[in-house]
Structure 1
Amino acid sequence: MQTKTAASHIANALQFCIDHKARKAGNIIQAHILRTNQFSNTFLVNRLIELYSKCGHTITARHLFDQMPLRNIFSYHAILDSYCKLNDLNNAYEVFAQMTERNAVSWNLIISAFSRNGFKEKALESYYSMRRDGFVSTHFTLASVLSACGGLSHLECGKECHGAAIKIGLEGNLYVGNALLGMYMKCESIADAVMVFKDLPEHNEVSFTAMMEGLVEANRINEAFGMFKLMHKVGIIDCVSLSSVLGVCSKSLVEESAVNILSDDHKHTMHGKQIHGIVIKLGCDRDLHVNNSLLDMYAKQGCMECAEILVNNMLEVSAVSWNVMIAGYGKQYNKEKAIDCMERMRLCGFEPDEVTYINMLAACVKSGDLETGLRIFNSMLSPNLTSWNAILSGYSQNEYHKEAVMLFREMQFRKVKPDRTTFAVILSSCAAMSLLEGGKQIHAALLKADFYTDLYVASGLIGIYSKSGKLETAKCIFNMVPQFDVVCWNSMLAGLSLNSLYTKTFALFQTMLGKGMLPTEFSYATVLNCCSSLTSPSQGRQIHGLIVKNGYENDAYVGTSLIDMYCKCGDVDGSRLFFDTMPGKNTVTWNEMIHGYAQNGHGEEAVNLYENMIRSSVKPDCITFVAVLTACSHSGLVDTGLKIFNSMKQEHGIEPVSDHYTCVIDSLGRAGRFNEVEKLIEKMPCKDDPIVWEVLLSSCRVHANVELAKRAAEELYRLNPNNSAPYSLLANMYSSLDRWDDVKDVRGLMNEWQVSKEPGYSWV
């Protein structure tokens, strides 16, 4: 009796040590147990193992476990729980495999450990083994298994677990219900998730947050905001849910863009700043995670002023805070501010990490500063795949395609395994350079890496073979893709159009529609370009009808293509009618309409439209001035053209380039105002552009200005002695003036330079 009482006192003392993690006191009790020969008491030794496990001394716990003279199932559970909490799956499974007796707790521990550590398949296998051994699942079992099903997007297995929950009466359990919500959302089965949510007898923060995050992933932003509204109404809000709804605001991507939520009686408006107000009201503005979510929301919506105010007033910042700020400025192409944030980050005691360098790299690349970007990239000890993709994208987007290819080779030498993004970027660079051999080598690497059927990569392959004129190979790749997406169709449409196979482009477009594939802006722009090239207004109008039907008529990209199509088909009035009804015009749209007037000889209308553009506060660019100056040149509006040309730098801060000088010289030359031409030539910076001199030579020939024609021809000889055009133009001019000796001199010069004129031929 005394022995039992003593053991009871020791057990109570050990429980106190376990509750307070008092390891040193536990050591004294262990010594007492050994001294009093009570080590054979399995119950006491189990408590010791539990104590050491809770104090993080798993090695000591395992030593005790191995030395135990008698073990029971609770001994195994104690050490198994310790390994599972440490995520030491090898030792956990070794102990589990040694168990001669198991119960639901044993299975729950191992299933939970597998699921939590990403071994989803192992978790499901263990679950089915548990079922075969006749054990009934508990709410812990189902929660772990449902998490594994969600991670694997294994909907059928998830539904089977749902059925098991109903069978054992756990479908109303909040723990299981929340796991079901998460599983259905991850499997993109929104309707099932909504049904589970409605059937739950009660909800908590986890329920609402799971629904909200799932709806965001499904891009159902309005419904996600509606879920937050309901959450707010019932008063179940915590810092985690606030962070989640701020993620919804980030997803909307438009600063101060309100999302309307239809309630029972009237509409409510919610956006990021309102959520910020709720954060302050509920006292969550001291929570670092919530503040970082606010920063992320403001940065993604482009409101860096708000982000600056917030970060300057935060009581606590982290490396994440500064990384978000750097990424935000990078998105706005503001490299200087991004660098400033990195310096402030260091001053706050945080060393830049891998994410910092990737964000800085992206900021430099987006700002076009590839030199600094490369310097940052080279300073990274071991750049990861994201960093490689960022620098490769930067070179490719800024048209440094040769450098991109060289970097890709270096990446291979360093044994960094490329992904679909890497392959797509490098294929784009190869296509831009018409580097067919390089494309073939990458194609071989894709076959080896088993990426050749990837939709994203297949589009890049179609692009390079199309641009290199290898359409049969492009078609072969297109036909090999197991499941088409619209990007592959667009790549094939673009390839056919690029090779002037307009009829085949239309046929493929019709096939695309017949297969139920919805065209995108790019699809419509490609087929509209075919209509323009074929001068086919009837087909263009059919495409226009389809565009209206599918709701793309307000898209600036598609609208610009429609304007170009109507103008090239000669229907300038139809083009202007559509232009006037467009709700969202950008600079490109205005340029296209002005250019359309220029192409069709409507110079005054082009000038009037240009003036309307200025009055509408739309900023003109270089292309705008080329279009309006071309219109002035073709319509004889010389003085108007000069006035617009002179306003470029003075009023709009745009430095004229060779295209602008060419237009003005053409305009003055057509009018025979050669004194002004000579003055303009003297001050223009682009004296090595052959087009300028060719235009001047043509004008001199029309007006028989021999001296200036001779100078223009000499400049052309200097720039390209083997080009026969200036010799022919000058010789023809001399012959029309009966200056045969000069003709003979020009012919002699051609012989001296071994310049031969290619004979003309008819296309008819």
Structure 2
Amino acid sequence: MSTSTLPLPTPPSPPHNRQPSSHLSLSGPPPNTLDEPPMALQTPSIRSRLSRLCQDGHLHVARQVFDTLPRPSTVLWNTIMIGFICNSLPCEALWFYSRMRSATFIKCDSYTYSSVLKACADTQLLRIGKAVHCHVIRSNINASRIVYNSLLNMYSTCLASTVVSQFSDVDLVRRVFDTMKKRDVVSWNTIISWFVKTERIAEAVVHFRLMLRMGIKPTAVSFVNVLPAVSGICDYELGNVLYGMLIKFGGGYVDDLFAISSAIVMYSEMGYVDLARKIFDGCLDRNVEVWNSMIGGYMQNNCFMEALNLFIDALTSEHMMLDDVSYISALNTVSQLQQFCMGKQLHAHVLKNPKALSVTVLNAVIVMYSRCNCIRDSFKVFDGMIEKDVVSWNTMITALVQNGLDEEGLMLVYEMQKQGFKIDAVTVTALLSSAANIRSVAIGKQTHAYVVRHGIEFQGMDSYLIDMYAKSGLIKKSQILFGEGNDLTRDQATWNAMISGNVQNGLIEEAFVVLRQMLESNMFPNAVTIASILPACSQKGSMGLGKQLHCFAIRHSLGCNVFVGSALVDMYSKLGAIASAEKVFSAAGTESGVTYTNMILGYGQHGMGTKALSLFSEMQRAGLRPDAITFIAILSACSYVGLVDEGLRIFHSMEEKYGIKPSIEHYACVIDMLGRDCCLEEAVEMAEKLGDEGCAIQAWGSILTACRTHRRHELAKIVAKKLLHMESRQSKNGYRVLLSHIYADEGNWETADKVRKDMRERGQRKEVGHSWIEVSGHISYFVSKDLKHQQVEDIYGMLETLVADREYVDDSPLLTDG
């Protein structure tokens, strides 16, 4: 926090032999004494009149009075200019300065330049600010500290959004500060605040120490500026020293609520939330800033219930008017806890309190309902908003995309543009995520082109583009985008996106190459990196690599991360090590529904349906709300082991109990479950309701497989005809081999050969299944009739020996005498 005060000029002190009168007496002047001359009434000066008019907000009257003056002085020009600024009209102040510059009979002084620089800061017009700086230099006036402080404030305000790396060559704020011959506490406060804004935390602390060595006593603002720097370098001892200094300075410091608020934030960000609470409890006269800081401190330390309870205390506190930040913090807390009922109560309170019914608060309500899996309620709030800003549109679009309603999100982007709102960086991230989710190359490319045409740049943009192209099947395009960067431009998200993209496209070796390059570039892997590379181990069939990554995660305190734990459970399950998956799940705790979902899926894949159902019940008892993916996992588990009744009960509970509308994927799981249990008529009836879109083809494929299993050949032919029609419409193949097997099973070899011949003419080939084994860290892959393996002769020799031994064992009697 920096200050750049612009005091309104006050009239000069009256002569010593006169006293200004603030009122006129109706009885006339007091009687004169013999020794005193008669006193004349003091009339207000033109400057004091203009100042009063400006202070009262009557700028138009002040302008009219000013325009009647033949040759107004510099002081009068300054008075009007400062009046514009104090009434939040900085653009008019700049215009007035331009008019003053064009007047030949007037000269600017320090107050003039200080005022106009403040106007430049308010409008963030850096170019005009630089021009005024040139005017100061050319004017040959002896610039006072107020001008230099105004220059510091102007540059720090206008350059606040500049990328930090751009200050390595030229730092205009630092240059102005270094040229100052005399600096006061305002100058030091501004430079310290500037270093904190530009994330040069260590320099902020160094300059605070220099200020003390120069004998300049810090103000409360000094502590407000430097305490965030201490939390940035996480120096607990220094924080204690500064807080002790704040207390030692006494009344004007320890009673400053903004300084107290900064101390609460400092300790909270360093993880000492108990100390922050002690400071909060010791503050008797709390303002809304202090309450918000403590609530935010609890949220930063994942103490969401404590944050919510403190918000309730603030609501019941007398003479406390909460602001938008208070309600947004409470709504974010409810979002993290996914407490839908509490969220509805809080929403009702917001509706009853007109002062809290701002656009920003309603935006937070939209997010709250979205995170509580109540996207319909989110849209009701959005649709009912009388006033919407670009954040409202972006919030709703992002909520739709995050809840799997990608097409609805895209339609809302179109409507957003029709309403005259421009697409910004947040909209672009939602568009790219949506394009990646629905695997739409067209939408992804259009968004990429829009970004390039309009020069939109934001942190992490490359990672979104790489992820979108990778998920859309254009992994080469992702690799080109990744290759265009270098170690300086690639952030952690970009590396992670490239690793994940390679894994998703089956490029396992390339994924590990990128991981190795990442380590060589001194970019340390985080939890997302480990969670992205672990699926490669199960695809590669390498338990050894998976265990190495697991050990790496434990050594670097990443093993307890929710995403890492979920990925480990999934990896061990797919590699057949279900016991290891259970150990990881037990160590991970019960805080994440994702971990539960992966463990349920693992049990299902290993035929442990009873355990899967038990874990599903345990998840609900733990207060975790199952989502759509959890239901796919439990329905798949029921399908694998034939638990039809339990599966149907869970399927019907989705919408009745949890308000989740079943998707085609859920129906496909139920159809597969019915098919496995020979309930083929019910399966066909359900499949016919799905239409021909999306995963419906998988559902019919499950029925065809069940028809072969249960030897329902006539029904299989009807299902096959339906499948072939759907394949031709969606340009997909894959069920002709199964159809040829069905014809072969019933002895119809001629038709089976015809199907195979038709596949060859179409250039279709069955994907060859393979198996693998890992020996001493080396993985060997095998396919049927494989002749390419390096040890093929030894393998077939051993196979012949095993077959001969098996024949001997089969011919031996099971029981022998003696």
Equivalent residue number for residue 176 of structure 2: 161
Equivalent residue number for residue 498 of structure 1: 504
Q: TM-score, normalised by structure 2?
A: 0.69
Distance in 2, Cα, partners of 1:696 & 1:62: 85
Distance in 1, Cα, partners of 2:578 & 2:464: 36
Residues 112, 141 of structure 1: 8 Å contact kept: no
Distance in 2, Cα, partners of 1:74 & 1:521: 62
Equivalent residue number for residue 108 of structure 1: 114
How far residue 696 of structure 1 moved from its aligned partner, in angstroms, is 8.3
How far residue 505 of structure 1 moved from its aligned partner, in angstroms, is 2.0
User: Aligned partner of 2:405: which letter?
Assistant: Y
Partner-residue secondary structure (3-state), 1:259: coil
Equivalent residue number for residue 148 of structure 2: 142
Equivalent residue number for residue 796 of structure 2: none
The yes-or-no answer on 1:403 pairing with 2:408 is yes
Distance in 1, Cα, partners of 2:652 & 2:79: 82
Q: Please, which of 472, 477, 480 is the counterpart of residue 476 of structure 2? A: 472
Tell me the C-alpha RMSD between the 2 structures: 5.1
Q: How does 1:96-135 map to 2 (within 5 A)?
A: 98=103, 100-135=106-141
The yes-or-no answer on 1:512 pairing with 2:518 is yes
Q: Please, which of 154, 162, 177 is the counterpart of residue 188 of structure 2? A: 177
User: Aligned partner of 2:449: which letter?
Assistant: A
How far residue 687 of structure 1 moved from its aligned partner, in angstroms, is 9.7
Q: Please, which of 384, 390, 393 is the counterpart of residue 388 of structure 1? A: 393
Distance in 1, Cα, partners of 2:631 & 2:364: 37
Q: State the identity as a percent.
A: 18
Residues 629, 663 of structure 1: 8 Å contact kept: no
How far residue 426 of structure 1 moved from its aligned partner, in angstroms, is 0.8
Equivalent residue number for residue 271 of structure 2: 259
Equivalent residue number for residue 264 of structure 1: none
Equivalent residue number for residue 255 of structure 1: none
Unpaired runs of at least 5, structure 1? 1-6, 26-37, 253-257, 262-268, 751-755
Partner-residue secondary structure (3-state), 1:161: helix
Partner-residue secondary structure (3-state), 2:460: helix
How far residue 732 of structure 1 moved from its aligned partner, in angstroms, is 4.8
Q: TM-score, normalised by structure 1?
A: 0.73
User: Aligned partner of 2:124: which letter?
Assistant: G
Q: How does 1:631-650 map to 2 (within 5 A)?
A: none
Residues 96, 110 of structure 1: 8 Å contact kept: no
How far residue 546 of structure 1 moved from its aligned partner, in angstroms, is 4.3
Q: How does 1:593-604 map to 2 (within 5 A)?
A: none
User: Aligned partner of 1:513: which letter?
Assistant: L
How far residue 523 of structure 1 moved from its aligned partner, in angstroms, is 2.2
Distance in 2, Cα, partners of 1:214 & 1:117: 27
Give the direction of change, closer, same or farther, for the CA distance of 1:309–1:711 in structure 2 (3 Å limit).
Answer: farther
- Superimposed CA distance per residue, residues 459-518 of structure 1 (whole angstroms, 9 cap, x where no aligned partner): 332223222322333333334457222222222222222222222222222222222222
User: Aligned partner of 1:156: which letter?
Assistant: D
How far residue 112 of structure 1 moved from its aligned partner, in angstroms, is 3.4
Per residue, is there more helix in 1 or in 2? 1
- Superimposed CA distance per residue, residues 513-569 of structure 1 (whole angstroms, 9 cap, x where no aligned partner): 222222232222232222221223444455445445544233232233344444544
Residues 662, 691 of structure 1: 8 Å contact kept: no
User: Aligned partner of 2:538: which letter?
Assistant: S
For these two proteins, the number of residue pairs brought into alignment is: 685
Q: Please, which of 330, 348, 352 is the counterpart of residue 357 of structure 2? A: 352
Equivalent residue number for residue 266 of structure 1: none
Give the direction of change, closer, same or farther, for the CA distance of 1:120–1:760 in structure 2 (3 Å limit).
Answer: closer
How far residue 103 of structure 1 moved from its aligned partner, in angstroms, is 3.6
User: Aligned partner of 1:82: which letter?
Assistant: G
* Deviates further, 403-412 or 641-650: 641-650
User: Aligned partner of 2:414: which letter?
Assistant: R
* Deviates further, 119-128 or 404-413: 119-128
Partner-residue secondary structure (3-state), 1:554: coil
Partner-residue secondary structure (3-state), 1:311: helix
Distance in 2, Cα, partners of 1:433 & 1:630: 23
Residues 45, 68 of structure 1: 8 Å contact kept: no
Distance in 2, Cα, partners of 1:527 & 1:64: 74
User: Aligned partner of 1:101: which letter?
Assistant: K
Q: How does 1:5-84 map to 2 (within 5 A)?
A: 44-68=45-69, 72-84=73-85
How far residue 260 of structure 1 moved from its aligned partner, in angstroms, is 3.7
Give the direction of change, closer, same or farther, for the CA distance of 1:351–1:713 in structure 2 (3 Å limit).
Answer: same
Q: How does 1:314-393 map to 2 (within 5 A)?
A: 314-317=318-321, 320=324, 325-326=330-331, 328-329=333-334, 332-333=337-338, 337-338=342-343, 340-345=345-350, 347-350=352-355, 352-381=357-386, 383-393=388-398
Distance in 2, Cα, partners of 1:660 & 1:44: 87
The yes-or-no answer on 1:191 pairing with 2:202 is yes
User: Aligned partner of 1:259: which letter?
Assistant: G
Equivalent residue number for residue 450 of structure 2: 445
- Superimposed CA distance per residue, residues 240-296 of structure 1 (whole angstroms, 9 cap, x where no aligned partner): 2234445557x75xxxxx9349xxxxxxx4244x344223xx233xx3554455566
Give the direction of change, closer, same or farther, for the CA distance of 1:232–1:588 in structure 2 (3 Å limit).
Answer: same
Give the direction of change, closer, same or farther, for the CA distance of 1:353–1:730 in structure 2 (3 Å limit).
Answer: same
User: Aligned partner of 2:359: which letter?
Assistant: E
* Deviates further, 651-660 or 564-573: 651-660
Q: Please, which of 460, 466, 476 is the counterpart of residue 462 of structure 1? A: 466
Greater RCO between the two (CA within 8 Å, min separation 6)?
Answer: 2
* Deviates further, 578-587 or 205-214: 578-587
Give the direction of change, closer, same or farther, for the CA distance of 1:44–1:549 in structure 2 (3 Å limit).
Answer: same
Equivalent residue number for residue 34 of structure 1: none
Residues 334, 342 of structure 2: 8 Å contact kept: yes
How far residue 68 of structure 1 moved from its aligned partner, in angstroms, is 4.2
Partner-residue secondary structure (3-state), 2:319: coil
Residues 84, 92 of structure 1: 8 Å contact kept: no
How far residue 664 of structure 1 moved from its aligned partner, in angstroms, is 7.2
Equivalent residue number for residue 302 of structure 1: 304
- Superimposed CA distance per residue, residues 408-460 of structure 1 (whole angstroms, 9 cap, x where no aligned partner): 22223333211111111112112222222222222221121012x64533333
Distance in 1, Cα, partners of 2:745 & 2:623: 43
